[in-house]
Structure formats: C-alpha cells, structure tokens
Structure 1
Amino acid sequence: MSSLVTSQHAEELREGAAQLGITLSEQQQAGLLAYLALLIKWNKAYNLTAVRNADEMVSRHLLDSLSIVPYIGEADSWLDVGSGGGMPGIPLAILFPEKRITTLDSNGKKTRFQTQVKLELKLDNLQVIHSRVEGFQPEQPFAGIVSRAFSSLEDFANWTRHLGGPQTRWLAMKGLHPADELVALPADFHLDSAQALAVPGCQGQRHLLILRRTA
C-alpha cells in the first residue's frame, strides 16, 4: 500500500462498502486504494478535485462512486461524462472488469491523470476520451451514461442525447433532489426513478436520478 494511503483509509473503504451492500475482493480493494493514492499524489499539482483532505476522499469520492453500484445492472458499456478526476468511472472500471467503461472530459490535465491511472492499474476495460461531450461520436450507443455533479438535468440530457439509444439509462448523481431541474427536462426524456442514496461518511443529501428516452 502506498505511504499516502493508510490502514485507516483501507478500513473506512471496506466498512463503507459493506454498508452499501458491497463486498470488495482483495483485488478490488487494492485497486481502489491504489487509485486513491494516485489521486492524492496528482491532486497536489493538477487540482483534480476540490477535496484536499485525503481523509475525506474515501467517503466523498470512493464511497460516493460506489453508491450507484446497485443501479448499474446488466448494462455492459458505460460512459462517465465530465469525469473530472475519474469518478465514478474509474471505481466502476475497477469493480467491473467485464464491463467497458469510458470516461470523458474536456480538461486535458484530468484526462492525462486518468490515462496514467489506466496504465498503472492496468485497467484494460477503461477508455479515456479527451473531448467536449457534444463533439464525441462513439461507434455505438452506450447502454448507460452517468454524470456526477456535471450539469443541470436539462443540459445533461441535451448534451448526451446522441450518445445513447432506446434502451440506454441515464444516471445523474445529485446532492439535493432537483425538483426544479426535473420540470425543465426535454420532452423526449422522462424520470424513470429517483433514489435517495446514503453514502457512509458523507454529510448532506445525495440522490440518484435515472432517466430514459421517451419512445
């Protein structure tokens, strides 16, 4: 384990994941902690996340990312839009080596960091894209598209509409339940379900809104 990551971090991750109903294998735990160590190290120079305190990163980044795992389902290809420091895309890639995970961000510093994580952790299932979302043209639609505090629901739907298909689920990770944003959803999107998320160690509300295209 890196000197940047302590046994306390490891314990907090293992216990928090268990509270979320996730049993981490040794390999998954090691991968998530290795990612955390890289995040701490690179954040000093690259300003990847506003969270400066390493002790807060387990709950606010790792466990927050893992909180959506019960809603990932069978979908085998996921896009993390506006991924920033790689959340939730990189934790998902570590947890689900059989799924194809793509992270997308327009900030070159952040995608360089993500590419370094991919290389160091040997995440063959992770694809890192440096692009603006409206300029990205994948060969096939994604089965799932996720964003974490990326934009309003209206913008999220409008900017990523071309990246999904009839079966795609859009997962928007939010703080407070955004009732005002739901009113402004584009006509061809509807709210499939809304889930209150309890993230161990996180103060404040967390919500997951699952959207679908209206046929």
Structure 2
Amino acid sequence: MDGSDKAGRGESGALAEVPDGETLGASDAVKAYLGDAYDGVARYAELLLDQGELRGLIGPREVPRIWERHILNSAAVVPYLPESGSLIDIGSGAGLPGVVIAVMRPQLEVILVEPMERRTTWLNEVVSSLGLTNVQVNRGRAEEYHGAFEVDVVTSRAVAALSKLVRMSMPLVRVGGEMVILKGRNVAQEVEPARKLLRKYGVGDPEILEGSTVEGAESTTIVRVRRGK
C-alpha cells in the first residue's frame, strides 16, 4: 500500500486531514469502527509502537503512522471474513493482519504462519500479552503445511505477487473456502500471470474489492477468490 498521502477525500470531495499515530488511534471514529475489539487492538498498537522498531518489525518512518498504515489497513480486510471457522495468515511478520483479525473475530480460529524465529517469538509474546485464546503461532513457510491441514480462509498482506500467493495459499484452502488477501492498487496487472494457477483450483476471475475503515484513512485493495476444486 502506498501510504505517502496523509489526507483522504470526504463525501464533499474536499481533502480531510488524517491525524497521525496515537491521535488517530484514540479518535471516536476508530473506537466506533472497532467496537468491542478496540481495547485489544489498541493494546496491540501500543506494543508495536513500543517495540516494533527496536525488534526490526517496522521501520522508523512507520512508527508515527502505525494506526493508518498498519492497524486500520489490516482491519479493512475483516468485513470480508467469516465470523467463525478457521483462518491462516501466511508470512504474518509482526502480526499484520493476523493479530488484528484475531482480536476483531474472537470466534475465528487464527493460525499465524511465519518462518523467522525472532518474529514467531514476538508473535507468541503478543498472543500471551493480549490473552488471545483463538490464536496459534506456527514457525515455517506456508508450503511446509501443504497437505497438513486445510482452513476456511487464507489471508496475507504484502507478501508476494498474486501468482506466487496462489501457489503458497490455495493448497491450504478447503474446497469452497477462500483466499482473501491485502494487495496494492496495481494488483489487476497480476491477474493474467496467475490465470493458469487459478484455473487449477477452479477459480474464475478474482474479485478486486475496496477495503475502507474510517473517513479520511486511506483505503486498501483486497483480492478474494473462492476455491472450486
């Protein structure tokens, strides 16, 4: 996601200023959007603000914009996910979007898959700190779990091109389940190179959707495909 712009357009078309960091996170709009999940998500944001840069999870320029660029960007995928069932977040990294999803969807069983040990250490600490009983952290690459289990949804954020994501993700999706991923605005250009792989799993044209949260915060692009075979 290109998060260089700090303003978004309101209903009138005029630019609406977006506060950075804690100001945005403490806004009434964000509290209303997150509802009962706000306290847990806010605690996760605090952990990222406190330790994210130190532990190499986010860059120094990302710290002031954790809420818009990372937390809300991750939250934008949640309306496209089921209330319950099972989900894998591949390449979870700092826990984006997997931890945000787990807090907002407490009835959803969430598996965070991440190959780097220092990141899985962080993820386990976050899960413990937030008391997330619906989360499991697995160290490894997505491909290592092909054939081990299947879930209702596989998600990811800024991990790879669509063709590579299909190879990594679709073997983990049960027939009738979905891959729902956060991608950049130019994802439509990635569809054709992925077409052959998509057909292998009985997928037609992917849905390219807009993920938005609060007014003024930049929206993101979401790709959703359903496995047919």
Superposition TM-score tier, normalisation by shorter sequence: 0.7 to 0.9
State the identity as a percent. 23
Q: CA deviation at 1:113?
A: 0.6
Match of 2:96 in 1: 87
CA distance in 2: counterparts of 1:111 and 1:105, whole angstroms: 6
Alignment of 1:114-125 (within 5 A): 114-125=123-134
Match of 2:67 in 1: 58
Q: Secondary structure at the match of 2:46?
A: helix
1:210 counterpart residue number:
224
Shift in Å at residue 71 of structure 1?
Answer: 0.5
Answer yes or no: is 1:175 the counterpart of 2:189: no
CA distance in 1 between counterparts of 2:94 and 2:147 reads 22
Cα distance in structure 2, aligned partners of 1:105 and 1:191: 29
What displacement does 1:9 show? 4.6
| 2:133 match: secondary structure | coil
* Distance change (3 Å), C-alpha of 1:87 and 1:159: same
Distance in 1 separating the partners of 2:176 and 2:163: 19
Task: Output one character per residue of 1:63-113: Cα deviation in whole Å (capped at 9) or x when no partner.
Answer: 111111211124511111111110111011111211101111111111111
Does residue 1:105 correspond to 2:120, yes or no?
A: no
Tell me which residue corresponds to 2:35: 24
Matched AA of 1:24? G
SS at match of 2:160: coil
Partner of 1:3: none
Per-residue CA distance 1:33-68 (angstroms, 9 max, x = gap): 111111122223211023644331011111111111
Residue number in structure 2 paired with 1:8: 23
Q: TM-score when scaled to structure 1?
A: 0.85
Q: Size of the alignment, in residue pairs?
A: 203
Using CA pairs below 8 Å that are at least 6 residues apart, which structure has the higher relative contact order? 2
- CA distance, structure 1, for counterparts of residue 97 and residue 149 of structure 2: 21
Which consecutive residues of structure 2, in runs of 5 or more, have no partner in the other structure? 1-20
| Cα deviation, residue 209, structure 1 | 0.7
Runs of 4+ in 1 over 4 A off after TM superposition: 199-203
